[in-house]
Amino acid sequence: MSSSTAVKPADDTATTQAGTATRSTGELVLDILSALARFGMAYVWINAGWQKVTESHINMVQTVEAYEIFTPYWSDLIAQVIGPLELAGGLLLLLGIKIRWAGGVSIGVLLIFIMGLYSAHTRGLVIDCGCFDPATADPQEGALLKSIWRDVAYLAVTAFMMWRPFKKFAIYP
């Protein structure tokens, strides 16, 4: 007489009666975190871009000029393109088009933002970063450091999203 004992899989993957493996709790948690990262960063970029696109061009140029990094020509150019680029990046993430590539571009842009914020902070400028709503600019001491740390957190979220992209509902992952 032989007795058969069920062997539990090495990981915490559950097995259905048909013998097919289902996702583990850990995998489900990672999927949820990945979805939150992708859609959360899509929201961040779309929100930031929309605020800039709907803002007056003169206010946007003044926001860029406040950093005292660029010439008037470059400030004007940056003010024209930054909003639409942020919108485009957010839409790529939302729709799931080239998720890792969009994440890489997002990290590059965040690094540029962090360098600009750090440059302004080290030179003692007290300016509003202009990140989300330039119309309600309220420069305060220490605000640039808070913006830097916020962007570092966005970097971490984006890196996680690139490491484990949530491909469900993606058009072209």
Q: Does residue 173 lie within any of the structural domains?
A: no
Q: Does residue 17 lie within any of the structural domains?
A: no
Q: Does residue 169 lie within any of the structural domains?
A: no
Q: Does residue 49 lie within any of the structural domains?
A: yes
Domains in the chain: how many in total?
A: 1
Q: What is the extent of the structural domain holding 52?
A: 25-163
Q: Does residue 61 lie within any of the structural domains?
A: yes
Q: Does residue 171 lie within any of the structural domains?
A: no
Distance CA 137, CA 143 (A): 11
Check residue 19 and give its pLDDT: 46
Distance CA 52, CA 100 (A): 25
Block means of pLDDT (10 residues each) for the chain, 173 residues, are: 50 49 86 96 97 94 95 97 97 97 96 96 92 72 92 98 94 91
Give the three-class secondary structure for 65.
Answer: helix
Q: Does residue 40 lie within any of the structural domains?
A: yes
- Quote the pTM value: 0.83
> How many CB atoms lie under 10 A from the CB of residue 60?
23
pLDDT tens-digit map of 9-24 = 544 444 455 544 577 9
Check residue 41 and give its pLDDT: 98
Check residue 135 and give its pLDDT: 62
